[in-house]
Amino acid sequence: MKPAPFEYVAPRSLDEALDALSHADEGTKVLAGGQSLIPLLNMRLASPKRLVDLGRVKQLTYIAERDGGYTIGAMTRQSALERDDRVSRDVPLLAEAIRWVGHPQIRNRGTIGGSIAHGDPAAELPAVAVCLDARLTIKGPRGTRTLPARDLYLGYLATTLAPDEILTDVWFPKATPGTGYAWLEFARRHGDYAIAGVGVAITLDADSRASTARDPGRIAEARIVVTGVDGVPVRASAAESLLAGAPVTDRHQVQPAALSASVDALRSAIDPATDVQATAEYRRHLAGVLLERALPVACQRAHLTPSPSGRGLG
Amino acid sequence: MRAVSRVAISLTVNGQPHRRSVEPRLLLTDFLRHELGLTGTHVGCEHGVCGACTVLLDDEPVRACLMLAVQANECAITTVEGLAPSSDQLHPLQEAFWEAHGLQCGFCTPGILISMVALLRENPRPTDEEIRTGLAGNLCRCTGYQNIVKAVRLAADRLADAPGLPLSRARERMSAKPIFAPRSGAGGEG
Amino acid sequence: MTTRGIGAPIKRNEDPRLLRGLGSFVDDVEPPGCLHAAILRGPYGHARIRSIDASRAREMPGVHAVYTAADLGPLNQPAPLVVPHPSLTHGRTQRPLAVDKVVFIGEAVAMVVADSRYLAEDAIEQIDVDWEPLPAIVDFTQAAEPGRPLVHDDVPENVAARFTQVVGDPDSAFAQAAHIFRERLHVERSCGSPIEARGVVAVYDRRQGSLQVWDSTQAPLTIKNGLAAMLGLPELKVEVIAPDVGGGFGTKILMFFPEEVLVPWAAMQLGRPVKWTEDRREHFISASQERGQLHETEIAVDAEGRILGIRDSLIHDSGAYTPYGMVTPLITATQLPGPYKVPNYRSEITVVYTNTVSVTPYRGAGRPHACFVMERMIDRIARELDLEPNEVRRRNFVQPEDMPWDVGLPFQDGAPTRYDSGDYPAGLALAEQMIDLPAFRAQQAEARKAGRYLGIGFAAYVEGTGIGPYEGAHVRIDPSGNVFCATGVTSQGQGHETSFAQIVASELGCDPSDVTVVTGDTARFGWGAGTYASRALVTAGNAIQVASAKVREKVVSLAARLLEVNPDDVELVDGTARVAGAPDRALTLGALATAANPIRYAYDKSAAEAALRLVKPRAGAVLEPGEEPGLEARGYFAPERATWASGQHAAIVEVDPATGDLEILRYVAVHDCGTLVNPVIVEGQMHGGIAQGIGGAFYERLIYDETGQLVNASFMDFLLPTAMEIPALEVGHLETPSPLNPLGVKGAGEAGSIPVPALFAEAIEDALQPLGVRIAEMPLSPTRLWELIHELPGPS
């Protein structure tokens, strides 16, 4: 299983990279971490004529605090994010989900930009970006554009990224006070693509945050993203709104009626596929189970954020 | 920029510098095995799952089958051949595998040794659970992993008692230092 | 004498080179000027080849040749039928390259030889094949039904063989039974999947007329003899070497895989060395697979649950060809009674073809199926009669005092299926004790109150090991004192370089690390069959012992002569022969080896000393009639029949009904393989077999679509378990030495894989007993378990 021949360009700056991509068509591919692309090349499921390797474009590797969040250069390796204290502290959903991405050997090469631009609907990072409304910066011959992550994804492995464009950075907001995050996925083996996964962010209303465990409060806002159950990561907005205002018990359990309605809404909102790993019915069922199990974790973590600059249990 | 049909690369492998001119599509596994004759790194799948091809790239374990040789330009690679300090001594991890019967056919072994060298550098006192998690990126079909875990535990216990023993022979990076914050926690060069 | 001989848990001789990455696997072999081959494989499960146009491929840079069936001439014969059987009336084997049609995905159609594998694969893409897809039959349970597509036009109903065997009078037994239970049990496909795929390197020397082949095969002697015949070369001029091999598990034994013929032939045609290294996708679609069987089984029992008779009818999926005959289903049939007394038994086998990759034995080789069926019936009896499954087992076990126990059928080697030794009740008791069954039942009750589903499963099996025909060995002491031992079996990780060395060491009183063992090199030893069917230690081990004993006799006799004592006063200790009671009067084995070869040249100091000191003036010839120079001998061992290993495994699992997922909380394996030459190596074999068993029970399943496409032909989608999915394994030993060979050993290579699907089924049913789930299929998965829990229909 060897790749077909291709021309190879290794620009050393973003300008050189954009120049290399100008006039590019579907026959040119950008090489970021290679963990998704190179298996396709080896199996000759992709045979680009030209590969533009961003590995030498050092200016795309950084983490910078900005606008109440962090702008992360697209070529930043996943393992660097995993080890970064700022990410652990301030973007806990990303920190938790990234540990589920493959294995360390994959994360040492895989990049945040590569994963988000590739957009595998069973992957973790595109889903986290969609859950947190991350903002993507894309540069190309027609200039620079920014868009929320969810607008990048059109369908299975199809994005709005044109062949002559590069995703240059991803901005993630910092965790808000009173919000707890949880990532939970189910895979056959550790490190496999998820059969289904959910990322949740639960914000308790202001009264709740000041309360004690005996007086838990209500959900002010919920964000739910689901992976592995559709062609793109799914924000389950109907399920989210059914949780708004829902009481939370002292054991961090969402009130059963609201939970049940939310889980049903989530199951109705997704269109999973049947494949070699699982049937559509099973995935649909599983997504609901994962939501049921992730919510108490997020609620407990929300409860434990004592002040605006504190952090959840992530 | 003009695309080129052969690319000049310059890298160190197990401390030895090499300069070659290679086709861009040449996989790092084939470069190491056939261009440099270092056949200890094995090829099991060429799609990044089995881990038999694991090498250290600038001290981090990576799958050599998911890299093009050209991507390793200006990097320092350590393969299994670079672990033992000399031809009549073994690396403590290799000793431990020998004592604990941590290998049978030996095909997956180099990849596992490399992955475990990195694990022990990052986490010198792993629990069995952490060892198994660290092994999850390497497939073995012969041993059922039982004695591999035992071997890593044996090596960790010994290295904890004698921290001066070398854990890797990676040489200095040829590229610039990383821009972002260094990782915290246990570890550092062995 | 040595403390590191038979029975010692010593470190392996082969490890240092493997640990250093200095092993020699086939792809590591690169003769100068080597060319590289790639194979064009059929992309359909069933398709006619209307035409092949390789002209563009031939023009490509770096391409030396493109071969299709038309280029092969008389070479393109169907491979010999290995292990024929009178019932295999419609056996079919594969040609090196397909002629009119392909009958499974991955069937070899053309071969390109080029300067590099990269260029060869480029050329493959330029070969134009005009395909006519044909309807395929993939579901083996339907393959013999009327109106199905035929895999082979001249094999009606896709039936390769029908074979019925009867023991006693099953129909009477059923007529008198207190209870009759029926089950339909379905096992689906998996494969051995060694981490090293296949490979062949061939070098042909035109001047010598000699061919040297490196092949990751388990049976190089068979390949050598076959190649000599097919290529018209004298056997003397053909060498086949199985170097270090990265796992076999049965997948790497065949005569022939097409590439094993094509690559040597191409090397002869081109006058250049040729190498073919199989990649992982190829391995999935062109190496062999196994495990598909459907059983309709009935069991008749008396009121106490004692078995009166079994009637089993099985359909076996052979894939597209029968390259290994019908060995697997025969083993299933003869092993089905397992460790139990089954006085009346009717077995019907139907072997069918499907448009899928061919089926040959994979670790366990029909025994996992047999054990699954038998143990499911035991569970059924237990459930219906409200007994603990182990109580049913105890009531039906063959007892130690019943040995030798005749099942009443011929085994795969043609000899009777006759258990020679074993203590199944003791093994089961040990397993119960190790897992602490009573404590678990209490734990289970508590867990159920807390809404958790824990379960325990047991399974018992027997395994016929160490079959013939024979193996041999050559042992020779070198003047250096190193002992050389060559044998015709091969090694794929079983530690033969160590365990065989231990046998030599026990006989010669030297250290095993001073014994160099060579396996799998036809130039070093030319007789024998190979490594398969858990036979290598039994047959080659005993042959090595025979050869070593002969060498020992020569050593003792020579030492006695030189030391001028009675041979009875000579003992072999620490690599020397010395006088008992006077240890300073000793000669090293090396000195004796020098002395035993009365050639006057002395190459080093110790040889010079030996030449002067040891060889005394004599009258007459240096070699007496019948005497041989040196200290070497050959030995052979042909077992009269299989020797029977056994085991009893137990596992505790927890099932999560919401997800169908399962966790193994404990796994205990009791195993009896007779005398242990190296206990650590045996345990390692158990661990590996169990891991493959767990894979086969819950993770690994090959899935074909209705056109014969293998849908999960990669490691991403065919799930080998990792260290996270395999739990800690606790192994206990029983040792009932085999009475059928001098060492008392039994085989151990496949045992671990045999009972796992059966015990998973029992454990899951036990865990989900409040929900009433019944398991009648393997492998399972979370999806499938969830469907069973919620009573949803599954795939088939």
The DSSP string of A48-78 is -SEEEEGGG-GGG--EEEETTEEEEETT-BH
Q: Which overall architecture, per CATH, does domain A179-303 show?
A: 2-Layer Sandwich (3.30)
pLDDT the model gives residue C413? 87
B178: pLDDT strictly greater than 50 = no
Contact A173, A201 (CB under 8 A): no
For chain C, give the percent of residues with pLDDT over 70. 97
For residue C719, the distance in angstroms to the closest alpha carbon of chain A comes to 8
- A:B CB pairs within 8 Å: 123
Which residues of B make CB contacts under 8 Å with A?
A: 1-5, 7, 23-25, 27, 30, 46-48, 51, 54, 57, 60-63, 65-68, 70-71, 73, 115, 118, 133-134, 136-137, 176, 178-181, 183-185
Q: What is the mean pLDDT of chain B?
A: 87
Q: Which overall architecture, per CATH, does domain A58-173 show?
A: 2-Layer Sandwich (3.30)
CATH number of the domain within which B131 lies: 1.10.150.120
Q: Per residue in C302-336, pLDDT tens?
A: 999 999 999 999 999 999 999 999 999 999 999 99
C595: pLDDT strictly greater than 70 = yes
Sort residue A31 into left (φ over 0), alpha (ψ -120 to 50) or beta. beta
pLDDT the model gives residue A23? 86
pLDDT the model gives residue C527? 94
| b/e map B52-87, b = 16+ CB within 10 Å | bbbbbbbbbbbbbbbbbbbbbbebbbbbbbbbbeee
- The stretches in chain A having pLDDT less than 70 are 207-216, 306-314
Which segments of chain A does DSSP mark as H helices, in order?
A: 14-21, 37-42, 78-83, 85-90, 92-98, 104-107, 112-118, 125-131, 206-210, 237-243, 256-269, 280-303
Question: Which chain B residues contact residue C728 at CB under 8 A?
Answer: 128, 146, 149
For B111-115, B156-160, C723-727, which range has the lowest pLDDT when averaged over its residues? B156-160
Q: Per residue in A157-178, pLDDT tens?
A: 999 999 999 999 999 999 988 9
In the sheet that A28-31 helps form, which strands lie side by side, from edge to edge?
A7-9, A50-53, A28-31
Contact A4 B25 (CB under 8 A): yes
Instruction: Read off the pLDDT of each residue in C118-139 and give the average, rounded to a whole number.
Output: 98
Q: Which chains touch B (3 or more CB pairs under 8 A)?
A: A, C
Q: Which domain holds residue B21?
A: 7-82
Question: Which chain A residues contact residue B62 at CB under 8 A?
Answer: 105, 108-109
Q: What's the DSSP call for residue C752?
A: G
Whether residues B54 and B114 fall in one domain: no
For chain C, give the percent of residues with pLDDT over 90. 92
Q: What's the DSSP call for residue C184?
A: E
Task: Single out the residue of C104, C127, C123, C152 nearest to residue C287, CA to CA.
Answer: C104
Instruction: Read off the pLDDT of each residue in C695-715 and give the average, rounded to a whole number.
Output: 96
Q: Per residue in B6-33, pLDDT tens?
A: 999 999 999 999 999 999 999 999 999 9
Contact A43 C281 (CB under 8 A): yes
Whether residues B77 and B137 fall in one domain: no
Contact A36, A115 (CB under 8 A): yes
Is residue B178 situated within a structural domain?
Answer: no
B189/A175 Cα distance (integer angstroms): 33
Q: How confident is the model at residue C791 (pLDDT cuts 50, 70, 90)?
A: confident
> Which residue out of B5, B35, B141 would a mutagenesis test of the C interface target, given it has the greatest number of C Cβ atoms within 10 Å?
B141
C499/C519 Cα distance (integer angstroms): 12
Q: Which residues contact C717 (CB under 8 A, 6 or more apart)?
A: A276, A277, C711
Q: How confident is the model at residue C412 (pLDDT cuts 50, 70, 90)?
A: confident
Q: How confident is the model at residue C240 (pLDDT cuts 50, 70, 90)?
A: very high
Q: Are strands C35-41 and C108-114 parallel, antiparallel or unpaired?
A: antiparallel
Question: Which structural domains are found in chain C, ordered by start?
Answer: 19-26+33-134+198-277 (3.90.1170.50), 293-467+640-789 (3.30.365.10), 468-637 (3.30.365.10)
pLDDT the model gives residue A304? 80
Q: Per residue in B106-129, pLDDT tens?
A: 999 999 999 999 999 999 999 999
Whether residues B126 and B157 fall in one domain: yes
Task: Single out the residue of A131, A141, A130, A134 nearest to residue A169, CA to CA.
Answer: A134
pLDDT the model gives residue C39? 98
The first and second tokens of residue C353, run together, are 């073809």
In the sheet that C777-778 helps form, which strands lie side by side, from edge to edge?
C159-167, C345-352, C307-317, C293-301, C179-187, C777-778
The first and second tokens of residue C580, run together, are 């008992």
Instruction: Read off the pLDDT of each residue in C191-212 and give the average, rounded to a whole number.
Output: 97
Instruction: Read off the pLDDT of each residue in C151-158 and give the average, rounded to a whole number.
Output: 97
pLDDT the model gives residue C599? 73
Contact C659 A43 (CB under 8 A): no
Whether residues B17 and B78 fall in one domain: yes
Q: What is the dihedral of CA B80, B83, B89, B90, to 10 degrees?
A: -70
B168: pLDDT strictly greater than 70 = no
Q: Which chains touch A (3 or more CB pairs under 8 A)?
A: B, C
For C32-41, C75-84, C116-125, C211-220, which range has the lowest pLDDT when averaged over its residues? C75-84
Question: Which chain B residues contact residue C723 at CB under 8 A?
Answer: 131-133, 135-136, 138, 140, 145, 148-149
For residue C666, the distance in angstroms to the closest alpha carbon of chain A comes to 18
> Which position has the higher pLDDT, C625 or C692?
C692
Q: Per residue in B60-108, pLDDT tens?
A: 999 999 999 999 999 999 999 999 999 999 999 999 999 999 999 999 9
User: Looking at the 3D structure of chain B, how many domains does it have?
Assistant: 2
Which residues, in sequence order, are bridge partners of residue C131? C49
pLDDT the model gives residue B162? 73
Domain ranges within chain A, ordered by starting residue = 7-56, 58-173, 179-303
Contact C489, C539 (CB under 8 A): yes
Which segments of C248-311 does DSSP mark as H helices, in order?
A: 258-270, 280-286
B2: pLDDT strictly greater than 60 = no
A5/A272 Cα distance (integer angstroms): 36
Contact B24 A7 (CB under 8 A): yes
pLDDT the model gives residue A51? 97
A296/A289 Cα distance (integer angstroms): 12
Q: Is residue C416 packed enough to be buried (19+ CB in 10 Å), middle (13-18) or exposed (0-12)?
A: middle
Q: Which chains touch C (3 or more CB pairs under 8 A)?
A: A, B
Whether residues B117 and B78 fall in one domain: no
B26/C260 Cα distance (integer angstroms): 27
Which residues, in sequence order, are bridge partners of residue C205? C210
Q: Which residue of C has its CA nearest to A36?
A: C716
Is residue B167 situated within a structural domain?
Answer: no
> Which position has the higher pLDDT, C186 or C613?
C186
Q: Tell me the CA end-to-end span of chain A in Å, nearest whole number.
A: 41
For chain B, give the percent of residues with pLDDT over 70. 83
| b/e map C576-588, b = 16+ CB within 10 Å | bbbbeeeeebbbb
The first and second tokens of residue C29, run together, are 């072999």
Q: Per residue in C372-408, pLDDT tens?
A: 999 999 999 999 999 999 999 999 999 999 999 999 9
Task: Single out the residue of C284, C696, A100, C688 nearest to residue B47, CA to CA.
Answer: C284
pLDDT the model gives residue C19? 98
B1: pLDDT strictly greater than 50 = no
The beta-carbon contacts of C430-433 under 8 Å, at least 24 apart in sequence, are C430/C648, C430/C670, C430/C732, C430/C734, C431/C458, C431/C648, C431/C649, C431/C650, C431/C668, C431/C669, C431/C670, C431/C732, C432/C390, C432/C458, C432/C650
For residue A284, the distance in angstroms to the closest alpha carbon of chain C comes to 11
Q: Is residue C51 packed enough to be buried (19+ CB in 10 Å), middle (13-18) or exposed (0-12)?
A: exposed
> Which position has the higher pLDDT, B2 or C104?
C104
Among B34, B57, B82, residue at a domain's last position = B82
C796: pLDDT strictly greater than 60 = no
C253/C360 Cα distance (integer angstroms): 9
For residue A147, the distance in angstroms to the closest alpha carbon of chain C comes to 32
C548: pLDDT strictly greater than 60 = yes
A7-56 CATH fold = 3.30.43
CATH number of the domain within which B68 lies: 3.10.20.30
Task: Single out the residue of B59, B64, B3, B5 nearest to residue B35, CA to CA.
Answer: B64
C482: pLDDT strictly greater than 60 = yes
Q: Which residues contact C54 (CB under 8 A, 6 or more apart)?
A: C66, C68, C110, C127, C128
